[in-house]
Chains A and B, each alone.
Chain A
């Protein structure tokens, strides 16, 4: 039984990273309608920036976390202002925005090498210690990850469902023209959403940095899984992102133990079946993306 709980715990740890990533991507996809393939690179940059601030300047971890969030948010805002803002009304929007996102992805993925070097990194000794509860080995760094992850998810839900800003986001994602008629400035909401979405990616990277390794390939590795997970939960549903992230995290954790590498195959097959029978995802309402 302790194996079960151990696997569930590990799945929850990695699942929370996925949940935060998927939540940010849901915001970007549903509000700005950009198929943002560069998203994984923001996650990688968040992890690298947190590592850099903590290990080079010997700052407390919180400073690294905040720096990572602010820096990735600024990068997201810049990419929207410089590139995607001009594409909002072009023909063939889907293809053009994917190409633009790939350009950003190339730049960000490569720029990390001259900036931080090619070796994998990790932040040591931020949350030392570990303890056993009923045979489950819990490291404090993973517990901290879970704590921060749950907190951020709750804040995000509150903002999205209860505040004026969140309502504006939902209105624009439903129909930007009608939202504009009601006095919401869609371009400002797009800008804000890109900032928040990319900041969430940076945050996910930054809270991953103490618990796992940081490497230059992690952005590319994660983006496809996160995209599929978003489709699984529903492209315009935050709750769907949480469900999708949780399912994927647990399936990967249990699958790794019981069926080894084949778990990814089963996971993708499962996601394909779900999307085939429910094109909107488990909890979503809508599937077009300007295609």
Chain B
């Protein structure tokens, strides 16, 4: 089956048809529940038929009016003919082909739309950087001087989820419009019917996927952004009023190209985007100031050979849970070492999760200290000794109650020493990777909504 390759309305035979024939064709067209282009084809074909039929009948001896009436009589009731023609076009074969073709082209549209969406988001980020750099900073600074603030905003992974969701909104919109257009053309169903089916099915599918399937770092912004994707699809489907098989390719390609160049320029001018964070130990003064902040948790136990008792460490964190471990710095199997011997003097050794804030001793240093607004840890977990390693097990710390922002935590290990006082046994900024623990939430929207706070 192929579509006609010529425009049927461009017939050179412009001889006006009798009024009865025009009325017949109008009633026939009104009864055809088919896409516009199919109705136009049928009307054109019937018009040709009438011209031939009238000419034949006139050659048999009837005059113009009677010939027209006879031609109409031979073709029958226009409403019944329209119903039969509609039925003839609406085959299961075409319905399935329309669905398959629509899904295929929607997938292509989604791929192109995703590229376009990413380009748009990247361009928006560029614009944001330029605005913050030129308007919020002294004009003598570099045009992208606003990037550090932007980088800080993107550091929370939920923001990345939101950005990708925005790109997906564009993809969903484009995919829906393309899918509806192709489905309508192939299946021969009316655009209104196809739009409703695509909008309903697409919304339901994407909504379920967004809420129950897609697992990503979440906050309120990312949740709202992900929920916007099914709405974007439904909007694209329902607003596809004029089915067009092809996008204005040249304009889209040019737009994507411009946005890509802007994005590339943006990325090239951000060397610090993925670079290592600045180190707090840049100056002895800053280090000393930070240690004094740590002393609010507990005073440090005497160092051995310049080290705290506990060093290095690793663990898992996220979704409101911290699972941390640290090592006894000079532990060797069979020969525990001086740190392990000293540690044996302590009791009630535990991990303490403190809410963290930026260390503001130096504005150029991105480090963290316990929040002065809190005089006690939020969560504590008994230490579980395992040879040279001490595990925190499973410490549940809440993420932000409103689910809006990432909560930062800093973890200390403390214990009650021989003199009955609690001492700090590690220095988190040096021995646990430097950064705070993020208790941001990773999971599906449903898990996010139902998570215990």
Indicate, yes or no, whether A interacts with B. Answer: no
Chain A interface residues toward B at CB < 8 A: none
